[in-house]
A = this chain, B = another copy of it.
């Protein structure tokens, strides 16, 4: 290919796209959900343009870590989009997916709520039934022990914790369901922005724990939704769970 041909090819490939954006239109087919918009570092008008494009092509979108200003820009183009202020997420769906199975979202402290909310919001729009259990850290063990029934019923548990990050390991010792651990940046000093909780979770003595990035409620939701749909879609073929 000559230099001129290469430049022509690139110009052509970009014509059907937004500037600086290359949408992955086949992601829903490959991975089960359309491309999600990660808002930080994008201008308000970029977020809005991508959202409008996805709304048109997929009938649904999720934008995470969105500011109210970004939401305003989106709503100007997609008026039906709604804003989950706890999760800082923008959601749009022309037709809601059926909510199936059960994912339990557990948090260790009230300060972890924004991350748990992001997980719950993403799980919801991805079509999962959700149960929330908040503020049940290991400093008062009876609080999490009181929810063992639910932890053994869900297809997956998303366990959110900052500071010492001990909760997911304790949960994994109480259930045979997969536990997706989400460290949060809640804490100070030697929490090093969530590093302490992350390391705790990676070193959990109990089996069945896997970990996502610090504060990544969305990422945990992706994993849990894949598991829950796998279990639930098969269960759907045979009738209700027993």
Chain A residues within CB distance 8 Å of chain B: 1-3, 5-7, 9-10, 13, 19-24, 26-27, 30-33, 35-36, 38, 40-42, 46, 50, 101-102, 104, 107-114, 129, 131-143, 145-147, 149-150, 152-155, 163-166, 169-170, 172-178, 180, 183, 185-216, 218-220, 222-223, 226-227, 229-231, 234-235, 237-238, 240-242
Q: A194–B189 contact, CB under 8 A?
A: yes
Instruction: Report A164 CB to chain B, min CB distance, Å.
Output: 4
Q: Which of B13, B101, B110, B169 contacts A41 (CB 8 A)?
A: B110
Residues of B within 8 A of A19 (CB): 134
Q: A189–B213 contact, CB under 8 A?
A: yes
- Candidate in A35, A137, A207, A211 with the most chain B CB atoms within 10 angstroms: A207
Instruction: Report A103 CB to chain B, min CB distance, Å.
Output: 11
Q: A169–B164 contact, CB under 8 A?
A: yes
Residues of B within 8 A of A212 (CB): 202, 209-211
